[in-house]
Amino acid sequence: MKKKQQHGGGDCPAPRPPAAAAAAAGGGPGPGQGGGWKRRRPLSLLPFLSLRDYGFCMAALLLFCLGSLFYQLNGGPPHFLLDLRHYLGNSTYLDDHGPPPQKVLPFPSQVVYNRVGKCGSRTVVLLLRILSEKHGFNLVTSDIHNKTRLTKNEQMELIKNISTAEQPYLFTRHVHFLNFSRFGGDQPVYINIIRDPVNRFLSNYFFRRFGDWRGEQNHMIRTPSMRQEERYLDINVCILENYPECSNPRLFYIIPYFCGQHPRCREPGEWALERAKLNVNENFLLVGILEELEDVLLLLERFLPHYFKDVLSIYKNPEHRKLGNLTVTVKKTVPSPEAIQILYQRMRYEYEFYYYVKEQFHLLKRKFGLKSPIRKPRPRPEFFIPSPLETEEPIDDEEEDDEKWLEDIYKR
């Protein structure tokens, strides 16, 4: 036994099991450890990390601490982190950060269609009813249908009601242009449709008297106070003998929808015309022409897909066409050439505005590669400035309750 120990060397300890080696590594070299055992680095608490890995971890910890300090100094996390958490799901959103950001809204999320009477508005409203159910936007309508001119307080109240509607919304009503920013609101995007002024006037003239194909007596309900002699008044007599309904300022109808609520907007003249043009350029996304309604709907679908996606296919659907045909005015007659020429003269500014909008609309179509129908253009009427006509102050046109007839259609 003694010889064996001497042979193995008196200074060299016997080999130890792995457990003993690990214990020695944690507590330092044992008392009998010789120079053949290397001293472990003090960082060996994490033996699986190299010195480079350990430095990386320390750098990450430093960044985390700086980020926490930034968090405390700025009162919360950056907005992009909140948005990211909300996108990943409410389960990752901390309650102590306050209410989550609003849902992502389409742009624009506030649209106003201050529809001009007898310019296809009932057809478009019917389409909007279908589209709002299909795409989930908020279609906001009004119970008031025949008040286009508002007092200052009425403007403030209406703008407040519109602005507080759930977004995205599309508000529609027969009302002259409203300046939301004047009352501290966010200015919405406007859209509208107009048509040839004389055709619009004739459609309204006979519609108030005889209605359309939706019912034989609906005109009697709409204008019950109209006297029989007025209801059956010949259109030529009305124009040639200068009845109030066929004279200014009653004929000055389209421009105020774009000019606004200023009293001068109801006076036929250059001031109202130029202001209407300015508002078209600055506040209206699109003003279309009823004579080219399919192109109008196509552009609306491109500009406002969240609202008008698939509108053209719905419009061309035979079932919708059947309903649309019910709104055609009945018993319309064409005035004599002399009466038409007088209307042209009295509606001079209306036609200047109509052709201005039409040119802008065709320019927009060309930008999107849409071709206007090839047809022989109608010659523009030759205007001369007529002498001022003394007429009575106009009475507000009695617009039909659009909501009622739409509800009647859905009940069928």
Handedness of CA 91, 92, 97, 103 (dihedral sign): negative
Tokens representing 275 are 């202001």
Q: Say whether 174 is catalytic.
A: yes
Rounded to the nearest 10°, the torsion over CA 135, 137, 143, 147 is -110
**Over 235-254, what HEC string results?**
HHHHHHCCCHHHCCCCCCCC
Note whether 240 and 346 are within 8 A (CB). no
Q: Which of 174, 262, 306, 320 is catalytic?
A: 174
Long-range CB contacts (within 8 A, 24+) of 378-383: 380/351, 380/355, 381/341, 381/344, 381/345, 381/351, 382/344, 383/344, 383/345, 383/348, 383/351
Angle, to 10 degrees, between the axis of helix 197-210 and the axis of helix 348-367?
Answer: 110
CA 197 – CA 70 distance, rounded (Å): 64
Q: Looking at the annotation, which residues are catalytic?
A: 174
